[in-house]
Amino acid sequence: MNNIRPYRHKVQYYETDQMGVVHHSNYIRWFEEARTDFMEQMGMGYDEMERRGIVSPVLSVEADYRRMVYFGESVTIETKIREYNGIKMTVEYEIVDDKTGMVHCRGLTKHCFLNSKGRPVSLKKDFPDFHEMFVNAPGMEQKK
């Protein structure tokens, strides 16, 4: 699973303001795009989670904007799971300019796992295959 590639994104015109600068809200969308891609590469996309009755709402989002990104530029979004305990997880992101290698934004999202009725789910107990996937995810620092 260590061969997960980072997510790449080319800035679109609609993502920018009149000065050609990416609007801050789009970084949060890029986090979601990168997280979705990351999970699909690990073997469990949101479609599979939901098919099995699991939803994973966002509990909180943080973004540290360091530099502006402009229309037409391309960025790579490095994604990793920072913490995971079977019930909650924190995903970390770093948005890097493809040409300069400079970091433009760092952020994280916190999630929990719920069943279709909105009740907390323990992946460790109820979905051990998914639990193992997260425990063995690249960059995972949490104890097994």
| Tens-digit pLDDT profile for residues 83-139 | 999 999 999 999 999 999 999 999 999 999 999 899 999 999 999 998 998 998 877
Indicate the DSSP class of residue 14. G
pLDDT for position 144: 44
Q: How far apart are CA 111 and CA 115, in angstroms?
A: 13
In this prediction, residues 65-85 reach a mean pLDDT of: 96
Cβ–Cβ under 8 Å, residues 19 and 92: no
Whether 143 has a pLDDT exceeding 50, the answer reads: no
Predicted TM-score (pTM) of the model is: 0.91
Domains and CATH numbers, the chain: 7-135 (3.10.129.10)
